[in-house]
Structure 1
């Protein structure tokens, strides 16, 4: 399995931002009010993944990966990698949606009261998307297999 590419995440952000900007421009008057809590929904997942990354990193560093008691099963690590890869995609898409929404709402703050009250929620959501991507990339990094030391030559 290859590491998540920054280009893929950047493409997700840009595509989602453009689609969200178009949708916001077209249908903003039908949107419900955006609260700060709506934007903060990804923070608990990001925190959980960051903590999981530290736990797995400690287990890998202590060589406590295996099938025995008090060891972290390799399948659990593989599942954590799958979670990290999926979360990086979700975080980049959510961040892109909030970015597109914010690009339309932020300039409208002076003329629309609703845009002014929606701006903090969009900022919190954008930061939450970035936090989820960062936590997911950290978790993915922590799940890497340790590098093997070079074999000694047979003649030594």
Structure 2
């Protein structure tokens, strides 16, 4: 995709999310090891991230059908597709950081799992990291679903235009 300004939008590769996971993990380890006591882990982040992942995966399936012009679907507006790509990119970056942060926090408390409070923090952090991983996968799938098929240009050339 390229805009009038000459800039291009490239698909999210594996390097940026991997780097953000590492940065998030370092931050999670640092915070968990530097605060006195245990870091507060909100269990409500798990269903929230799962709901976001489900919504993005559902949207990705519908978008892929609409872009592929499946029978019974309306074509998607280009601006709507661009907005979905922006949502997917932002979600992928956030999910990468969250995955790393909560995995790092879970890793930081693994040596004291015999204590109930540490076990609770570990399970909550691990569940949140897994939910963030699902959101990352759904976001990358939504970004992939917004791609225009290769044969779309050929279809547009065959349609009669103004003479």
Superposition TM-score tier, normalisation by shorter sequence: 0.7 to 0.9
* SS in structure 1 at match of 2:96: helix
Q: Residues 63 and 100 of structure 1: is their aligned pair in 2 closer, same or farther, counting only changes over 3 Å? A: same
Q: Does 1:144 align with 2:144?
A: no
Give the alignment partner of residue 71 of structure 1, picking from 49, 68, 75.
75
Deviations along 1:13-34, whole A, 9 cap, x unmatched?
Answer: 00110111011101051633x3
Q: Is the 8 A contact 1:35 1:118 kept in 2?
A: no
Measure how far apart 1:114 and its partner are.
Answer: 1.2
Report the equivalent of 1:126.
Answer: 129
Residues 37, 121 of structure 1: 8 Å contact kept:
no
Q: CA separation in 1, counterparts of 2:77 and 2:23?
A: 37
Deviation, 1:38, is: 3.2
Ranges in structure 1 where 5+ consecutive residues have no aligned partner: 65-69, 152-156
Length-normalised TM-score, structure 2: 0.81
Aligned counterparts of 2:30 and 2:138: Cα–Cα separation in 1: 29
TM-score, normalized by length of structure 1?
0.84
Q: How does 1:104-119 map to 2 (within 5 A)?
A: 104-110=108-114, 112-119=115-122
Query: Shift of the alpha carbon at 1:150?
Result: 8.3
Gaps in structure 2 of 5+ consecutive residues: 1-8, 155-163
**Which has the larger displacement, 37-46 or 100-109?**
37-46
Name which of 8, 12, 33 aligns with 1:4. Answer: 12
CA RMSD for the aligned pairs?
2.1
